[in-house]
Amino acid sequence: MRSRRIVIALLTGLLCIAAFPGGTQEDPYLEKRMAMVRDQIEKEGVSDPRVLAAMREVPRHLLVPLQYRRKAYEPRPLPIGAGQTISQPYVVAFMTEILRLKPGDRVLEVGTGSGYQAAVAAKIAGEVYTVEIFPSLADRARRDLASLGLRNITVRQGDGYYGWKEKAPFDAIIVTCAGGHIPPPLVRQLRKGGRMIMPVGGPFMTQNLVFLEKGIDGALSQRNVLPVVFVRLLGH
């Protein structure tokens, strides 16, 4: 009887391995996510342990449309509907790291999209407020983020150009769509000592990620940190 139980246990183990190659029954994409962080993010210079931990924890495959789930951990953006995309993993990690997020920070995101960037930020910061112009994307992100148990994220449908005045000031602002200039309402809603990252430039061309800091005296400084291509900032 004992040997029979051992055989059954071994067969069960083999079935689990066959059903979930490269992962576990609970998370079949675990190994792909670990490889993504190692090969696409750490090797490219992102070193903040909090950012790396967040990228390891957030299940990117659950925040992309089902038909793209197998491509979720590839080094590329993916369509999410409404003509929008989820940024490639390295860009998400880079933008998160440069903001120097810490526990207790209040973060504004403009351009919720799939909710992936908000989820990564929420693993580090205290509160994340995110604005999405497309109702369908806002609804889906709200549902998907809630299903992941991320209760420190609030999603609102609206025009992110104007930020979220009622929740300001923010310690950090992250904009995931490109505009021709940095919106003045966002600058006003940035706390003194706060940091902001945004792609600036025209559509269908290489843009620059611009990192902006507001000094404790209110003075602004900014610099270009990375050439990128993002979807354009709509609304306004």
Instruction: Tell me how far CA of residue 79 lies from CA of 35, 92, 124, 208, in angstroms.
Output: 22, 15, 26, 21
Alpha-helical (H) ranges within the chain are 2-19, 30-36, 49-57, 89-98, 116-122, 135-147, 184-189
**Do residues 101 and 50 touch, judged by C-beta distance below 8 A?**
yes
Instruction: Tell me how far CA of residue 113 lies from CA of 79, 83, 110, 119, 213, in angstroms.
Output: 10, 10, 9, 11, 25
Catalytically active residues, by annotation: 87
